[in-house]
Every structure is written in structure tokens, then in C-alpha cells.
Amino acid sequence: KAGRNTYRIFSEDIRSSITESLHLISSLRQAVAQEEFVLHYQPVLDLRTGALIGAEALVRWQNPKLGMVSPGLFIALAEKSGLIVDIGQWVLNEACRQMQAWRTMGAGPLFVSVNLSPVQFSRGNIEAVIAHALQTTGLDHGQLELEVTESTLIADTEKFIVTLSRIQASGIRLAIDDFGTGYSNLSYLQRFPVHKLKIDQSFVRRLLQGEKDVAMVSAIIHLAHSLGLKVTAEGVENEATSEALRGMGCDQGQGYLYARPMPADDFEAYWRARA
């Protein structure tokens, strides 16, 4: 009954979604030019002592019309269009600048974690961008941590291993983000100079629900420790989970239980209150 009409409606839908994403890409391009981005910072705590040890920098897009846009809504598009190279460069510069400013205000040598997209490795001159961010801001190399996902490491060309090794040799730390959700072949852990594994939220959230998740998390923690790596649990939302993680020997925690990602001013008040 709907025959041709269905086809027409369907094609209208596709057309409007294409128009929508083209529109979004052009807004994003403008956002890059006009620096409409801000960083929020989420505290990372030492699970044993409860001390604040660092923060993950998380980008938000503050659009005059759309309001605050979360990265889940624009990172994929930014990657497809290549705009992530410029956005990522801005994020690195801003995160380093901010952390160095806090350092000179009396914050301890907290680390700042920056998320890197695989596209920044394949299309951007990532080493030069990182070096520039550290040089112009004066941030200590040891205070910068870079988060890459397993899928970034799977595309392991010789060149890529050399790049990451040089980055690590300069004192910058590398963390594997969303660990456990990517690939079952873990051989890359031996090839890459990794410092830390971040256990994906999906395991952490289910931790109190089933034995299998306990086994997974516990296995990841043991794997990390036996390779000399640190472990961070992400997405810790309640005290019982935090307690369980501590009991399993997990080093660091991040999640709504401790604090949500917050604007720079709030994070400054946060570290001052804890200093």
C-alpha cells in the first residue's frame, strides 16, 4: 500500500540526514576557526590513599545555537571530516596550558590525560604537535598522559611503533583507553611502550552484578601488574564498586562517585580544597 510513497519518504529521510551532517560539518569547521571548544576535567584518584593524582581532559563544543554539545555527538564526524586533527591540536595545547597554569598556582604535579584519535596519528604530524604543546606551555613531560584506544594500536606499522616509542622516551606516558573492548590479541602490549590500562566502564559498571565481570576485571588488573603497568578503573559510580576495586588491587579510580567532569574553574576549586 505504501509502495512508492515509502520510497519517497525514505529518500527524503536520507537526504535530510545528509543535509544535517553536512550542516554539522560546516558548523564544526566554523567552531574550529572560532575556537568554540572548552575542556572539562575529571579527577583521577589514587584508590589506596584517595589522593587526587590527575585529571582527564574531555572536550565539549559550545555552540551558540546548539548549546553544549557532548563529544559523543561530534567526535566521529570530526574524525570522518579530518577536522579532528585541528580540534585535537587545540585540545593538547589547551590541556597543557591549563595544567601548567595550575602548577604555577600551587597544584601538585598532577597529570593531565588527553584523548588522541587514530586520525591524529595517520593524518597529523602528532609528534610535532605534542612537542609544540609542551614547549610553548612549559609543562613537564611527565605530567602529560596520552590515551589511545586498542584500535589505534592495531594499525601497527613499524613507523607507528617508532613514533610511540619516541613519545614515551621523552617522558610522556601512554594509556590504553577502554581496555577490554577492542581486540582479543594482546600481543601489542609487548610491542608498545604502554604505561597504563584503563578498564572500560562497561566492566566496571557490571562489577557487582556477576562473577564473570569480577573475573574479567581481576584478570585485567593482574595482567597489567605483571607487565609492570598501572590500572585505572573508569565509570566508578558507587562506593561498593570502589571498595571492590580497591580490594582487587586496582591503582586508580575515575567516575561519578568521586567527581563528574567539570569546567576548569571548578577543577581549580577542587584541587585547592584538597591541597
Adjacent-strand bridge partners of 113: 56, 145
How big is the CA angle at 53 (ends 167 and 224), to the nearest 5 degrees?
60
**Can you tell me which of 94, 150, 177, 251 binds ligand C2E, judged by CB under 6 A?**
177
Show contacts with ligand C2E in window 103-122 (CB under 6 A).
115, 117
Q: Whole-number minimum distance, CB 237 to Ca ion, in Å?
A: 14
**Can you tell me which of 31, 32, 52, 59 binds ligand C2E, judged by CB under 6 A?**
59
* Rounded alpha-carbon distances, angstroms, from residue 61 to 31, 34, 94, 177, 194: 8, 11, 14, 22, 30
Assigned C-alpha cell, 152: 589505534
Can residue 133 be called a binding residue for ligand C2E (CB under 6 A)?
Answer: no
Residue with Cβ nearer Ca ion (27 or 87): 87
Q: Whole-number minimum distance, CB 246 to Ca ion, in Å?
A: 20
**Can you tell me which of 70, 125, 135, 157 binds ligand C2E, judged by CB under 6 A?**
70
Q: Where does this chain touch Ca ion (CB under 5 A) — which range of 10-18, 74-82, 90-98, 114-122?
A: 114-122
Can residue 42 be called a binding residue for ligand C2E (CB under 6 A)?
Answer: yes
Q: Where does this chain touch Ca ion (CB under 5 A) — which range of 67-75, 98-106, 110-118, 221-229?
A: 110-118
Which residues fall within 8 angstroms of residue 55, CB to CB, at 6 or more apart? 41, 42, 43, 44, 99, 110, 111, 112, 113, 267
Q: Whole-number minimum distance, CB 88 to ligand C2E, in Å?
A: 6
How big is the CA angle at 238 (ends 235 and 241), to the nearest 5 degrees?
75
Residue with Cβ nearer ligand C2E (18 or 263): 263
- Count Cβ atoms within 10 A of the Cβ of residue 198 and give its class: 0-12 exposed, 13-18 middle, 19 or more buried: buried
**Can you tell me which of 24, 28, 75, 194 binds ligand C2E, judged by CB under 6 A?**
75
How many residues touch ligand C2E under the rule CB under 6 A: the total is: 22
> For 104, what's the count of Cα atoms within 13 Å in the CB-facing half-sphere?
8
Site string for ligand C2E, 227-266 (x = CB under 6 A): -------xxxx----------------xxx----x-----
Q: Where does this chain touch ligand C2E (CB under 6 A) — which range of 21-29, 68-76, 182-190, 208-216?
A: 68-76
**Can you tell me which of 79, 94, 145, 147 binds Ca ion, judged by CB under 5 A?**
147
Residues that bind ligand C2E (CB under 6 A): 42, 58-59, 70-72, 75, 88, 91, 115, 117, 177-178, 201, 234-237, 254-256, 261
Residues that bind Ca ion (CB under 5 A): 115, 147, 177-178, 234
